[in-house]
Amino acid sequence: MIGISGMRGTIGGSLTPLVVGRMAGAFAAFLQRSPGSSQPIRVIFARDSRPSGPWVRDAAVAALVASGMEVIDLDIVTTPGAAMMVKHLSADAAVVATASHNPIEWNGLKFLNRQCVAPPPSDAAAIAALYHANDTAWAPVENLIIPRRNTQTHALHIQRVLDHVDTLGISTKRFKVVLDSVNGAGCVATATLLNKLGCQLVHLNGVPDGRFAHEPEPTEKNLTGLADEVRRQHASVGFAQDPDADRLAIVDENGKYIGEEYSQALCAKWILSRKPGIAVTNLSSSRMMDDIAAAHNSKVIRTAVGEANVVQAMLANKAIIGGEGNGGVIDSRIVPGRDSLVGIAYILQLMAATGKTISQLVDEIPKYQIVKTKFPCKREDADKAVAALKKTFASEKIDTQDGIRIDWPTAWVHARPSNTEPIMRIIAEAPDRAEAEKRIASVQEVVQKTIPSAAH
């Protein structure tokens, strides 16, 4: 699978050393032909904790070095940590060996550009074209540079987060926190952060060996162990990370999974309560963000789905908080990308400053139900469906920067083609599930008429 931010495949299946080397070589060739790259071109390499990580690193680094890149190896660090180090080390790009929330048999390469985000679609297409053409630019021996190691990432990342919270104020609360790091890349840095914040830490799956104790995506069905431990420990809160630690899910003090949508919502509640301003999120994220912004004399800007789109809008509009509904919290002052450490620190800060529990804070935010569906759909058919929906719902408030989002006074629907696979996604949100399903059905009816084979 080659997508907007790199590639993924299965170990022992589609992802082989040859494939990894070919893709890393294509990325190096792309960098060599990009205007403004330094000489030599400096590339950060990082990986999550998957057991396949060492050979994926060796294959990728071999191709990068053979292409004349100056490689700085960070070893096992979080994806937000790697993004932070691009700017800190004045690098031209980063390559991260990760498959995000995919199971242990998956791995891949994620690319970050000089702006510390995934390349824009045009650049991603150019990299993919170089890969398919097996187009490389191997360097002569006099241009080869021995890779070097850097071990600063965790310490620098933690300090940057601590610089934006009241460490003493949080520490005096002595919160008991249950953390499930799924034996991923977030184990070391997050445990250190919580200790510096004076928390009583109960760490589940805290060895960064990539042996995921459960399915690694931080969804409710995968976090029953975390919920049980929060109840058993009478803890203040439970946090769950995905393997590369860019996503955050929350369990309240009663052991109830409150969902990834609340990660950015609670962080926005803290940041905007202190300083009204602009928040940025994508078109598929909950209306909770609008409610929180309105309560604090602030504004929400919505973007196309994708971390890079949110970050670019944040920087362009001087936004003070941003994120995505998949548990992604972004403070571009710390890391220009989703960062579970930022989310954890800001939620603890909100609890400390207000004296309220997670469940009490959640109860203060209007509640909605989100319903999601998807179906196989070619890109050209999805474009036809979007055009038909635009015509049918012309009298409603619509946004067409990424598929189509239709807003009603109490609900919205977002229909969009996937960037990575031939499917169309439809997401609806309303105060209750029945209304959300009704809105999805109204959209599906139009899609079905336009593309008879779709939306079953």
Dist. CA 425–CA 99, nearest whole Å: 21
Residue 17's CB: how many other CB atoms inside 10 A? 14
What are the structure tokens assigned to 71, written together?
Answer: 């490689």
Could you give the CA distance from residue 339 to residue 79 in angstroms, rounded to a whole number?
8
Distance in angstroms (rounded) separating the CA atoms of residues 295 and 146: 54
The burial of 275, by beta-carbon neighbours within 10 Å (0-12 exposed, 13-18 middle, 19 or more buried), is given as exposed
Strands of 274-386, DSSP E = 278-282, 299-303, 321-324, 328-330, 369-376
332 is catalytic: no
Say how far apart CA 22 and CA 156 lie, in whole Å.
Answer: 32
Helix (H), strand (E) at residue 231: helix 224-233
Residue (of 425, 23, 449, 46) closest to 246 by Cα position: 46
DSSP 39-51: SSPEEEEEE-S-T
SS (H, E, C) 247-305: CEEEECCCCCECCCHHHHHHHHHHHHHHCCCEEEEECCCCCHHHHHHHHCCCEEEEECC
Beta bridge partners of 202: 178
Task: Please list, in sequence order, all residues whose beta carbon lies within 8 angstroms of the beta carbon of residue 233, skipping any fewer than 6 positions away.
Answer: 176, 178, 202
Question: CA 179, 181, 186, 187: dihedral to nearest 10 degrees?
Answer: 80
Q: Decide the pairing of beta strands 278-282 and 248-251.
A: unpaired
Q: CA 390 to CA 58: how far, in whole Å?
A: 49
Give the amino acid at 29: A
Which has the closest alpha carbon to 322: 354, 295, 285? 285
**Residue of 100, 285, 298, 332 with catalytic role:** 100
Active centre residues (catalytic)? 100
